[in-house]
Chain A
Amino acid sequence: MSGRDSAEPVAELEEVSRVYHLGENVVTALDRFSFRFEQGEYWAVMGSSGSGKSTLLNILGCIDRPSSGSYRVRGEESAAMDDDALSDLRSREIGFVFQSYNLIPQLDVLENIMVPLFYQDEPPADGPLRARHLAERVGLAERLDHRPPELSGGQQQRVAIARALINDPALILADEATGNLDSATAVEILDLFDELHAEGKTILLVTHEPAVGERAESVLRLTDGHIAEVVHGREVGA
């Protein structure tokens, strides 16, 4: 849908390791991890606590760097990039949705949605218009000038999703995006993800809950920084 070359993987990890040194201890959060995420896929990343899910997501989102190995976003090698280039990459290609929404409290809904555009080298001229459409899209057209503290958790998460979409990213990365929501609201959010998937967005959703994992197209299960199981191509919503 975005007209990009779909033959190229959106994200490609090769032998990626992420090692933490804590004094004498060495914690290997990701261990020579190799994987490809293709355009339009919808993955649930699952696994026990400490299995490296968040670490994987941070590396995919370019806010963390691999200790070794290679990671490419749409063919761009991230290992070679400096901090500015990585930031630029994030502002163009990554959309984050966090467990605790992470909106900026002093900005209103519309401004929050537009934050990623502020940091692009050449912000699009139609930013406010796009933000309005996205707010409408997630059902918040009436709340554009509200501040985050005035919104419910579900509404805040909708704003966060709109924000993740504003730069038309290659990858939408959601870490426990429904973790703080009641089940009814969680379902609404998951419906939204389904819609995005249907539109051809590439989505990675980290979750603990099997019910949530089942909503995704495919499941990637981690143990100790390794891939434990890959379940491909389930029916959406099955």
Chain B
Amino acid sequence: MMRGSFMRTVRLGVRSLLLHKLRSALTTLGVLFGVSSVIAMLAIGEGASEEAQEAIRRLGSQNVILRSVKPPEDQASEQTTRVLTYGLTYEDFERVEQTFPGVERAIPMRELPDEVRFGSRSLHPRIIATVPEYQAATGRVVHEGRFLEEIDDRDVANVCVLGYEVARHLLPFQSSIGESVRIGSDYFTVVGTLLPRVRFESDRADPGEGITGEVFIPLKTGRRWFGDTILRVRSGSRDMVEVQLHEIVAEVDLTENVPFVAAACRTMLEREHTQRDYEVIVPLELLLRAQETKRIFNIVLGSIAGISLLVGGIGIMNVMLATVTERTREIGIRRALGAKRRHIVTQFLVETVVLSVGGGLLGILLGLVIPAGVERWADMRTIVTPTAPLLAFGISAGVGVVFGLYPAWRAATMDPVEALRHE
């Protein structure tokens, strides 16, 4: 059929549908809600998954992270009177760094719970005793001055680098470089400050206990001044904890080697530690798991979408069958006046597709509005990929064709004489 006559068929189809406005509007609802919920759910799912994957990627997908974990209480209770000793050791660190093939470098880290003071102001930030490589491994960016350097560790220097929030709270309206701040009972010279980190949704889940910001000191300096034993005074009871290292980040040379290094770390820790006082976090594994979760989510979503569009399609088919019966006479007339079967098929197929595509377009509109609303009111990230509306449009057109074929075929194969006699 020529383009002009096809456009006329579409126009006439629309006009026939407008004869029954309410019925046509109700018929499109199935596809409308099917399409809009698919787009909205895809957008929300995509947003959530992207956020999770970003948080994991921030841990470094080529890293294997070992962390000290306080062993379960029942084991610890046997040692009530003694100092509670657990966690990663300097030996663990050396083994990881020196003996594991594939480990490019390992970064040890300790966290010291203490107060940081400048003048009358004080804070309880995370005090992190670590090595210079920590900066590169975690993507911290220097704002003023410099990060920790090799020489600080060698000299066991009393220097520190302040995180953005700490610098701002402790030394507002002034450069903090060269100032001395008190950490615990010692004075440290500020050699640098950092830029704030981009905040992510998952940061809120960090066990921060209201601590704002971070302060970095050289690992050896930390060990000298604070030892391996940390005294915590908590609501009257004294709590002695001995932890050598809180975290070791092993940077692996190639992504393919990450699983081997992870396995080696687990084996080593199992052998060396008598209790489960550590955990091994493999961001790559988490990433793969997140991707798998997303895949399952998509399959579930796809099934729901399929079902809702099926229901929408059946609704359309039902109405079109009724329409065909109702317009039997018209079909007979058109056939008597020379319409071929394919003309009748086209006419009813076009009407069905106009219905489903109309519903699909409105559904896309609604499907774009819902994620925008969710983003705004529920404070969740949503991502509408450009393929989702296109896919929805294609599917709704497909639904029209598939569910329109049978009614159209019914119309086209009617006997003209019988059809003309129909009341």
Residues of A with Cβ closer than 8 Å to B?
58, 61, 63-64, 83-84, 87-88, 90-92, 94, 96, 98, 102-107, 115-116, 118-120, 123, 163, 167
Contact = CB atoms under 8 A, between A and B. Distances in A.
Interface string B327-369: 0011011111111111100000000000000000000000000
Nearest to A58: B417
A91 to B, nearest CB: 2
A87 B338 contact: yes
Given A63-B335, A102-B420, A106-B16, A119 B341 contact: no
Contact of A102 (B8, B19, B329, B338): B329
B81 interface: no
Contact of B343 (A61, A119, A167): A119
Given A104-B333, A123-B5, 12 more contacts: A83-B340, A84-B340, A88-B340, A90-B336, A91-B338, A102-B329, A102-B333, A103-B333, A115-B333, A115-B337, A118-B5, A119-B338
Nearest to A115: B337
B229 to A, nearest CB: 90
- The DSSP consensus for interface residues of chain B is helix
Contact of B336 (A96, A120, A167): A96
B338 A63 contact: no
B145 to A, nearest CB: 80
B208 to A, nearest CB: 68
A106 B330 CA distance: 10
B-side interface size class: 20 to 34
A116 to B, nearest CB: 5
Closest 9 CB pairs of A and B: A91-B338, A119-B338, A63-B416, A87-B340, A90-B338, A116-B337, A119-B339, A102-B333, A84-B340
A90 B19 contact: no
Nearest to A167: B338
A135 B251 CA distance: 88
A174 to B, nearest CB: 13
B338 A120 contact: yes
A123 B8 CA distance: 14
Given A98-B420, A106-B15, A106-B16, A63 B336 contact: yes
A58 B337 CA distance: 12
